[in-house]
Structure 1
Amino acid sequence: MNRLLWRELQRDDDSAEEALWVLNPDLAAYGPLLPSGLRVVLPDLEQRRSQARQVVTAWD
């Protein structure tokens, strides 16, 4: 499911995955490979803002 979320929403975090399972509770029955033509409802999520990270080296 993470690959589907990333491809469609550019997110694969826990909250996105949880929202997907809430909207599609029967997906687990299909296992890791989804059949062709299966309709999956994607959650309407806000894009995560990339957080600025401070780079730290071993010498700081």
Structure 2
Amino acid sequence: MKTMRSRDGDTISNILWMGLKRNDDEAESALFDLNPGLENHGPVLPAGIEITLPVMPEKAPETVVNVWD
């Protein structure tokens, strides 16, 4: 597993995008499961929090279907 240290002003979404290139609900839930108490810091993290990133498969691209084609 990979770890990151937060910078002042980071958000969970930013951390997930920088570390995993995804910030969906599944990744967020896995991140909170691995880092108990992380939610206590609020939506904007202070600097210096060590965060363990989950190992997750790369998210498949979403397919958009145009019903008029």
Q: TM-score, normalised by structure 1?
A: 0.77
How many angstroms does 1:53 deviate by?
2.7
Tell me: higher relative CO, structure 1 or 2? Use CA pairs within 8 A at least 6 residues apart: 2
Structure 2: where are the runs of 5+ without partners?
Answer: 1-11
**Deviation >4 Å, runs of 4+:** none
Q: Percent identity?
A: 40
| RMSD over aligned Cα atoms | 1.6
Corresponding residue to 1:36 among 47, 53, 64: 47
Structure 1: where are the runs of 5+ without partners?
Answer: none
Task: Give the 5 Å matches for 1:1-60.
Answer: 1-57=12-68, 60=69
Counterpart position of 2:8: none
SS in 1 for 2:50: coil
* Structure number with higher strand proportion: 2
How many angstroms does 1:54 deviate by?
3.0
